[in-house]
Structure formats: C-alpha cells, structure tokens
Amino acid sequence: MPDAGYLTIGKVVKKLQPQYPDLSVSKVRYLQDEGLLNPSRTPSGYRLYSQKDVHRLETILYLQKNRFLPLSVIKEELEHTDSGQPRATGEEPGAIRLPVDDEEVAKRLHPIDRMPELVGTTVSFVRQLSEAGVIELRRSPHGRDLVDGRDFPLVRVCDELRHFGIGPKNLRQYVIAANRESAMFEQALVVFAKKGGGVELERTEETRQRFDQAFSRMLGLTNAVRDELIARRIKEPFKDADD
C-alpha cells in the first residue's frame, strides 16, 4: 500500500492536538480497540491513517466535546453512516443525529435525578463525583441538587473510566493536581502577557483569543508530558506487536 497521503498515529495526534489538546496516542488506540477507528496496516504491522480516517476521528472528537455524546451512541451513529441505510425517521443516509438543544443544555443547570436520561449514568455515580471534588453540585431554592450542563462531557469521561476500574475515588488525585497546577498555568499566562507588552493588556476579543490559544496549547503540551511519563513506567501489553 502506498504511503502517500497517509499519516502515522503520532502525526495524526500532532495534527489534531491544537483543536483537541487532550488528544493522545493512547486515546486514539482506545478508540481503535472500541471499534470506532479501523486504519490500514502496512505489511510490517504499522497503522497508517488516511484522510478519511482522520476526518472520522475529528467527527468522533467533535461529537464527544461539543455534543456530549457517549462513545456507544457515536459508534451506533457511525455504523448507520457506514451502512448507508436510511433511518426510519426519513433522514438521509450518512446523516448523524445530534441534539438540537445541546448548546442550551450546556448553559443550564439540571436536576440530578435527570442524569440517567441526559447523561446515561446513575444518580449515585454523579454524587460520587461530587464527593470526590470532580464536579460541584448546585442547590436550587427548593433544595434540589443541580448539575451544571457544562460538566456533562466530564461526567461521561469519568463514566467510561469506570469500565477500567478507575472510579471517583481514584480521580481525587487529579482534582488535587488540577488545584495545584492551576497556579502554574496562571503564572505562565502572566509571563505570556509580559512578552506581549505588559501584564495589563487591553481586554479585547483578539487578546482573549490569543490567551485561549496559548492556554489550550499549554494544556496539550503538559498532557503530552504526563502521557509520556506514565507510558515510560507502564509496560503496555503487545507493545512490540502494535505500532
């Protein structure tokens, strides 16, 4: 198979990380293991990604990040797309169903008892995340516990981690690390501002975008360091047989 137009897994991650800073080689491999991605293999066993594969990965990441869909739903939608079968609703083949009110969902607070319906997980699990400090529940004037819609993607990620035996108690270390590292990021942004001409920069849309891009890039780079350090300490099964 010719290599022209194909990318290695590392190059795919590097290509998409500016838009998805949390993307890592291990996450792409996990999506492969779950059957959402099926890149080609060279005779020597290395995986190579076509532009179609990269577009499919972008679709998966977008649906996770912006539409709050779990992988099980994304896989079902992609299988419909692959089969080219029209839906009973009359949708065209290849059309992926998306919640029409997803942005409104993210902006609102939702009663915790609706989590099975809205997020696909149990109320008790969401409470455990709150007790571990991963998310923060709000209180309504009537005493009901509310969940911020912006936390839905994080809840879904944590729910997936349960299948690997990583529960809310295990995630407390990340809450502690986030609290500690936030000071490092704040200091780094001050340094970034000084390089731009002074700490007190005029607050404009342009400067906000610059800081958002810088912050996203820092997150991506520090995540890459973290992934590499963990990978060095863990012997991955079948590492020699994989790419």
For residue 200, is it within any domain? Answer: yes
- Residue 125 sits in a domain of what CATH number? 1.10.1660.10
Alpha carbons 11 and 19: distance in angstroms, whole number = 14
Arithmetic mean of pLDDT, 214-219: 86
* Residue environment code for 153-189, b if the CB has 16+ CB neighbours within 10 A, otherwise e: bebbebbbeeeeeeebeebeeeeeeeeeeeeeeeeee
For residue 89, is it within any domain? Answer: no
Arithmetic mean of pLDDT, 230-238: 71
User: Which residue segment(s) compose the domain that 190 sits in?
Assistant: 176-234
Q: Which of 170, 198, 224 is the last residue of a domain?
A: 170
For residue 25, is it within any domain? Answer: yes
Q: Is the pLDDT of residue 15 over 80?
A: yes
For residue 97, is it within any domain? Answer: no
Alpha carbons 228 and 130: distance in angstroms, whole number = 29
User: What tens digit of pLDDT does each residue of 55-88 get?
Assistant: 899 888 888 877 777 788 888 888 877 776 544 4
Least confident residue range of 60-69, 115-124, 147-156, 193-202:
193-202
- Looking at the chain, the whole-number percentage of residues with pLDDT higher than 70 is 81
Arithmetic mean of pLDDT, 203-209: 73
Number of domains in the chain: 3
Q: Is the pLDDT of residue 146 over 90?
A: yes
pLDDT of residue 151: 92
For residue 241, is it within any domain? Answer: no
User: What tens digit of pLDDT does each residue of 21-53 get?
Assistant: 888 998 899 899 888 999 998 888 788 999 889
pLDDT of residue 216: 86
Q: Which of 53, 83, 113 is the last residue of a domain?
A: 83
pLDDT of residue 132: 95
pLDDT of residue 71: 83
Q: Are 109 and 138 in contact (CB under 8 A)?
A: yes
Alpha carbons 27 and 167: distance in angstroms, whole number = 18
User: What tens digit of pLDDT does each residue of 79-101 get?
Assistant: 877 776 544 434 443 444 434 34
pLDDT of residue 117: 79
For residue 243, is it within any domain? Answer: no
Q: Are 18 and 217 in contact (CB under 8 A)?
A: yes
pLDDT of residue 158: 92
Is residue 3 classed as helix, strand or coil in its secondary structure?
A: coil
pLDDT of residue 87: 45
